[in-house]
Amino acid sequence: MDTVAQKTLYERLGGKEGIASLVDDIVEAHMHNPVIQVRFLPYKEDPENLKKIKGHLVDFFSEGSGGNVSYKGRDMETTHKGMNISEAEYMAATDDIMNTLDKHGIDEQSKKDVLAIAYSLKEQIMKL
């Protein structure tokens, strides 16, 4: 019998296809979130770059959640260097992620696991 504890987070999020769907909805939520939309709306005008960034996010989430996927993008500190991300922006992005997980019917343990990962990356993302 498959239980939540027996499956990897990657499996619980629906594998690469499920994570790709989550990423699409998370980025869309960011584009509508008044706290952070200014950082994401320019990607609407650059669909090639948006596709590339979404691909990196899918790979990052896939590898980080236990999938047999290799993330080849920059580390979080390098990616966010000089962006001066505020606590409010970080929390808005995290809220968008959690709301999207709810929308997709992700189980409570998986949401807790994703939240733990998000908080583990906070210092790297908010570094000046």
Dmax (CA) of the chain:
48
- 80 annotated as a binding-site residue: yes
End-to-end CA distance of the chain: 47
- 58-81 burial, b if ≥16 CB within 10 A, otherwise e? bbbbbebbebebebeeeebeeebe
Tell me how far apart the alpha carbons of residues 60 and 103 are, in angstroms, rounded to a whole number.
21
Count CA atoms within 13 Å of residue 10 on its CB side: 15
Find the helix or strand (DSSP H, E) in which 4 lies: none
Annotated binding site for heme: 56, 80
Q: Which residues are annotated as a binding site?
A: 56, 80
